[in-house]
Amino acid sequence: MKSSFMREVRVEDAVGMQLGHDLTQIIPGQFKGRLFKAGHIITEEDIPRLLDIGKRHIYVMEIPVGFLHENEAAERMAKALAESQYIEKTEPYEGKVTLKSAIHGLIKVDPTLVHRVNQIEGLALATLTSNQVVRPGQPLAGVRPIPLIIEEEKIAAVEKLSHLPAITVKPFMKKKVGVVTTGSEVLTGRIKDKFGPAVREKLEQFDSELVEQRLVNDDLESIVQEIRYFLDRKVDMILVTGGMSVDPDDRTPGAIKASGARIVRYGTPMLPGSMLLIAYHGATPILGLPGCVMHDPFTSFDVFLPRILAGETIEEADITMIGYGGYYTC
């Protein structure tokens, strides 16, 4: 059904008027695509091209004061809602603008702002969830008004929301990481270390570097000594692998605490990876990694590692809230 803001006119009479909808051209075997997009102002030069695609009459828009065409509305929404440094915006197509990541980074979304936008009748904003790793060119969100013509005051209400932008992408920082691997069975060569290769591969995915791995017995003082060794080297992060279970010989949690680190939380509501420990010695993150990191493709470590490499400080609330949606295959 034709919009009340549209009027049918002869092509020859449409010069200077605004096209009300996309027009497609089809040249068999050569081309099929948009010849003119909605909102295009018709010129004298356009008339032969319109006649060539069989258009004798077209719909033009007559937008009253205080209203916007869907394409302009979508562009303004996208500009208001997304930061511009690391997010690319597509040209509007049928009233929709897609937001795409320009980098390998971490998407941050403010769900409160997303809900507030969608509470405005006639507007639609759909996003990825926050804290996902995204790649260059990956779609992050789509915005559009629902009607062809919408009140400008509704778009202005989006632009006036506090705490904008609602969608950002944070770049990853190159970090130098030290690894302390505990366990007499590894130190004596009885079993082959699998933590080092697994951790190295994960770090390299974010362009960070495992600078050194040191092997140590399950002895509290020895583990503390190795943690302090890496603190003296001023690495950006320390990972202590092994010794995270409840066995009496597992000393890692106590050693991390004894090193002077502030324990954020020992244990996460996520499976696999519930025995993860996150702590800080000053600004340096120290993580105790559970055994599942060696063999499971995605654990709680994979949730928090990108956030730390994006420069975030993990707090207890960040850990406790991942239980909702935090069950994976074990």
Domain range for 245 = 176-323
How far apart are the C-alpha atoms of 175 and 311, rounded to whole Å?
10
Do 115 and 196 have their domain in common?
no
pLDDT at 212: 98
Percent of the chain scoring above 70 in pLDDT? 97
Please enumerate in sequence order all residues whose Cβ is within 8 A of that of 193, keeping only pairs 6 or more positions apart, or say none. 181, 186, 213, 215
Do 307 and 201 have their domain in common?
yes
| Tokens coding 142 | 């789509």
Query: Does the pLDDT value for residue 246 go beyond 90?
Result: no
| Tokens coding 322 | 């991942």
Residues making up the chain, counted from first to last? 330
Average pLDDT over every residue of 78-88: 96
Domain boundary among the residues 14, 33, 61 is at 61
pLDDT at 329: 65
Counted domains in the chain: 3
Please enumerate in sequence order all residues whose Cβ is within 8 A of that of 269, keeping only pairs 6 or more positions apart, or say none. 319, 320, 322, 323, 326
Query: Does the pLDDT value for residue 17 go beyond 90?
Result: no
> What pLDDT, in 10s, does the model give residues 234-243?
999 999 998 7
Q: What angle do CA 164, 170, 171 make, to 5 degrees?
A: 155
Partners of 239 in beta bridges? 179, 287
Cα distances (angstroms) measured from residue 232 to each of 171, 238, 255, 311, 325:
27, 11, 17, 21, 38
Tell me the average pLDDT of the chain. 92
Do 283 and 208 have their domain in common?
yes
Q: pLDDT-derived band of residue 249, with 50, 70 and 90 as boundaries?
A: low
Report whether the peptide linkage leading into residue 272 is cis, meaning its omega lies within 30 degrees of zero: yes
pLDDT at 4: 64
Domain boundary among the residues 129, 145, 171 is at 171
Partners of 82 in beta bridges? 167
| Tokens coding 287 | 């993580």
Domain boundary among the residues 14, 41, 61 is at 61
On whether residue 328 sits in a domain, the answer given is: no
Do 11 and 73 have their domain in common?
no
Query: Range with the lowest mean pLDDT among 89-98, 103-112, 239-248?
Result: 239-248
Average pLDDT over every residue of 245-249: 62
> What pLDDT, in 10s, does the model give residues 187-234?
777 888 999 999 999 999 999 999 999 999 989 999 999 999 999 999
Query: Does the pLDDT value for residue 319 go beyond 90?
Result: yes
Average pLDDT over every residue of 261-265: 98
Q: pLDDT-derived band of residue 303, with 50, 70 and 90 as boundaries?
A: very high
Kindly write down the DSSP assignment for every residue of 126-194, as one continuous string.
Answer: EEPPTT-EE-TT-EEEEEEESSSEEEHHHHHHHHT-TT--SEEEEEPPP-EEEEEEE-HHHHTTSS---
Average pLDDT over every residue of 147-175: 96
pLDDT at 154: 98
Do 188 and 305 have their domain in common?
yes
Do 22 and 148 have their domain in common?
no
Cα distances (angstroms) measured from residue 85 to each of 138, 153, 202:
15, 27, 26
How far apart are the C-alpha atoms of 182 and 193, rounded to whole Å?
10
On whether residue 1 sits in a domain, the answer given is: no
Whichever domain contains 253, its CATH number is 3.40.980.10
Cα distances (angstroms) measured from residue 217 to each of 143, 182, 197, 245, 323:
55, 6, 19, 15, 33
pLDDT at 59: 85
Q: Which residue has the tokens 């009607």?
A: 147
pLDDT at 68: 93
130, 78 Cβ separation under 8 angstroms: no
